[in-house]
Amino acid sequence: MEQGNLNDMPLVSIAMATYNGYAFLRQQLDSILTQTITDFEIIIVDDLSVDDTRSILKEYGQTDKRIKLYFNDKNVGYREAFYMALEHCSSNHILFCDQDDIWLPHKLETLLNTIGEDLLIFSDSALVDDTGNQINVKLSDTVKMVQPGEAPINRGFVIGNCVWGHTIMFHRNLLAYTSGEKNMHPHDWWFAVVSSHLNRIKFCPAVLNYYRQHQKNVTQAIPVKTGKVAGRKSAEFELQLSRMSSIANLDFNNDNNFYHRWQQLFLKRRTGFSFSLFAFLLSNRKDIFSLKRKNLPAQIVEIRKMCRKVS
């Protein structure tokens, strides 16, 4: 993509993917347009919404030239829509943006002033309900939001994540590392993993977003109990196996022997309960659960589940 004159580049690019988001879209756009830093562009890819989302986008696009709109003629899913938005971002610093949250006015300024020489920075969020009212819970109350970058913590990305897409700002140089392997992992998880294994990631503990919780969230900060779901165990097995493989295959991963060993033991679940995997996970439980808020009894219960036979 042509960059043009560097002096003409906005300071920040904001990549947003929308899909049937009319209910909360205005509040999110307004919170971006009232940032203390105003030198930015908003790249929005709408993934074939069938509600009033597109009319709202066109309305805002006509009144603010910083908003650049792209409309898909087929639905490709949120992950691919975000990657499509990245293709149109021209700035060195880029943020992912959800359609239904609310940004605090100093978000851009805080992240720009804090990222330094790192490739990715992420922050905390305050959870709000579907009407935008705070529920006195932070994202850091639900997961361990710690500073990744070292092997013991990075190992926790196989079963967890502390880096949520709506909190991320990254330098475009990170794209040279994230686009090398084609996988179907969520974009925010993959960007977190790559920057962590490069040890070029920073955690900013400030609350910079209101993270809206409602029934249509792609991910939930507070998990909803759904009971037994057919095929869930097999799906979780394949997901974790894919995560191990993707991490192990990173050229710059100095800890890949650990992931290869984990893979070998994990595959034994296809023939029955794996006692060798149980021993491995138990001895490395502090690393495995580095991003999970689970005490020892809960960890042991989870480890047992991770060792059961998968047909």
Q: Tell me: the pLDDT tens digits for 143-194? A: 999 999 999 999 999 999 999 999 999 999 999 999 755 578 999 999 999 9
User: Range with the lowest mean pLDDT among 73-77, 134-138, 219-223?
Assistant: 219-223
Q: Residue type at 100?
A: D
pTM of the model: 0.91
Q: How many residues are listed for the chain in this entry?
A: 311
Residue 270 pLDDT exceeds 60 = yes
> CA–CA distance from 8 to each of 3, 32, 90, 242 (Å)?
9, 21, 10, 41
> Is the pLDDT confidence value at 218 over 60?
no
Query: In the prediction, which pLDDT does 1 show?
Result: 31
Residue 86 and residue 78 in contact, taking contact as beta carbons nearer than 8 Å: no
Residue 210 · residue 164 · CB < 8 Å: no
pLDDT in tens, 272-298: 999 999 999 999 999 999 999 999 999
141: buried, middle or exposed (CB in 10 Å: 19+, 13-18, 0-12)? middle
